[in-house]
Amino acid sequence: MGVAHGWWTEAVIYQIYPRSFADSDGDGIGDLPGITARLGHLAELGVDAVWLSPFYPSPQADAGYDVADYRDVDPLFGSLADADALIAEARAKGLKVIVDLVPNHTSSAHRWFRAAVTAAPGSPERARYVFRDGLGPDGATPPNDWQSVFGGPAWTRLVEPDGRPGQWYLHLFDPAQPDLNWDNPEIRAEFLDVLRFWLDRGVDGFRVDVAHGLIKQADLANWEEPQEILSGNEVDKPRPPMWDQDGVHEIYRDWRRVLDSYDGARILVAEAWVEPAERIARYVRPDEMHQAFNFEYLLAAWTAPAQYAVITRSLEATDAVGAPTTWVLSNHDVIRHASRMGLSAKGGRPNGIGIGDPQPDAALGLRRARAATLLMLALPGSAYLYQGEELGLPEHTTLPDESRQDPTWERSGHTQRGRDGCRVPIPWEADAPSYGFGPTDASWLPQPPLWAEYALDRQQGVSGSTYETYRTALRLRREHGLGRGTLGWLSSGDEVLSFRNAGLTVLTNFGAAAVPPPAGELLHSSAPLDADGRVPTDVTVWVRH
């Protein structure tokens, strides 16, 4: 099938987590003016676009993924005028801007939910959400057995205006994030309007939160399995009644028509924790979204066979629908890959790491992370980077539990530490207050002392630093057109992976022994070659053949 082409098909898109990127006013929480002032860093790094996690008015029960008003900016982050200024400055620097859209749920502080709580069962106000009577004679049992992704039941019971216990409402995430009822045409019309609001302000696209969750199986059938944020749907298992229902696709076709009515190429990116690759490819059929995050790639083990399999499968699945493949190693929901890749494989996939937990091997993690990044950036398609990974930033793995803010920590009864460790404000200057995050020492999550050694100013111009390794990779990727090339495998053994793409030969050594580099001119490597000019373990090289 012919593959779509546009800026997004080969773009490197950098995720900004506004709370933690740059703080202009010193309150310890990053903001839009802070981002605008630092956009030069991203242009210099060489990315094509930024995706901003939510900055809308919100009680911040889930760090802004609980939106109380989709058409404004939370004073914590600035104002609509600041958003306009950010978009204009990004454009002036040649960067596209993607904003986050959260359609599965609103905040419980949204005017719609506030109205639903005081309205009667069966009212139009309640019909915007998923309200049900409880089970049992007094309705005290939740309508079904669904669990929240953050732990505990996915239902909360209301106290009715007359003071009696009443109906239950569904929240696949926190109780402060009630799920919307997407069978209701009013919801559909509202979100079409929200899309237009931001498109009119000049954004280049939307990252769609929980894109696989909007439609629930009509009977809300019980589902005995636990919910985990990282859970996919394995091929041979029945499809969970709350995820990846066929009805979601009609919604995205409607949205696509709106985007296509605007000039330029505006894009939709699905955040959908769906497996296998063929299921996720359904979200990027020609009349639906443009891209979907490739979480199967993010989760793949660091072995040659696992990487070969996931890369091959990903390319085949998206080729079949004519969409570009995407690649991602880190984001604000997972352990940063510089730490994840230093964990022992036996430990499984922890949701956060704290004091007392097995700690990652930092040197091994960073070495592998750099090799993985160079492998990723050599692949055809579009790649996502998460703020700070260009500094080799590790997870904060010893964050005091009392400073944790992720609702997962409380909701799981302190069994899952959650995602705070990858959300710590990032270091810009080694010797400045809050490592240059803001003008004061304030930081909404404590920064670890070792942040100084990762600061941008310690790495700029330092040959072989992680920052310069990323910058060189992005420059070469652009110069050689790697994002629009075609991958041809040269070797896919147990120890070494190598392929050709756009005139380059790329080799990653996963084995214990060093191997000779491919013939040709060495353009880039994730770490130095050994004294004999061989490629050591956990190193990726790019060679011009």
Residue nearest to ligand NOJ (CB): 65
Nearest to 469, CA basis, from 526, 542, 530, 393: 526
**Choice between 211 and 377, CB closer to ligand NOJ:** 211
Task: State the nearest-atom distance from the C-beta of 148 to ligand NOJ, in Å.
Answer: 10
Residue 92 CB: number of other CB atoms within 10 A? 10
Structural tokens at position 478: 């652009």
Task: State the nearest-atom distance from the C-beta of 64 to ligand NOJ, in Å.
Answer: 9
**Choice between 214 and 506, CB closer to ligand NOJ:** 214
**Choice between 102 and 203, CB closer to ligand NOJ:** 102
Active site residue 209: yes
Helix axes 362-377, 466-480, angle to 10 degrees: 10
- 294 neighbors 271 (Cβ within 8 angstroms): no
Q: Give the whole-angstrom CA distance, residue 22 versus residue 330.
A: 19
Q: Label residue 233 left, alpha or beta by phi (over 0 means left) and psi (-120 to 50 means alpha).
A: beta
Task: State the nearest-atom distance from the C-beta of 140 to ligand NOJ, in Å.
Answer: 28
| Beta strands, E only, 368-423 | 382-386
Task: State the nearest-atom distance from the C-beta of 204 to ligand NOJ, in Å.
Answer: 20
**Choice between 210 and 298, CB closer to ligand NOJ:** 210
Nearest to 152, CA basis, from 127, 177, 132, 129: 177
Of 31, 74, 271, 389, the catalytic one is 271
**Choice between 65 and 384, CB closer to ligand NOJ:** 65
Q: Give the whole-angstrom CA distance, residue 229 versus residue 211.
A: 13
CA-only gyration radius of the chain, Å: 23
Q: Give the whole-angstrom CA distance, residue 388 versus residue 336.
A: 9
Of 23, 209, 288, 333, the catalytic one is 209
- 269 neighbors 99 (Cβ within 8 angstroms): no
Q: What does the binding site for ligand NOJ look like in residue numbers (CB under 6 A)?
A: 62, 65, 102, 173, 209-210, 271, 332-333
Task: State the nearest-atom distance from the C-beta of 102 to ligand NOJ, in Å.
Answer: 6
Compute the 3-state secondary structure of the chain and give helix, strand, coil in percent, each to the nearest 5.
30, 15, 55
Active site residue 278: no
Catalytic residues: 209, 271
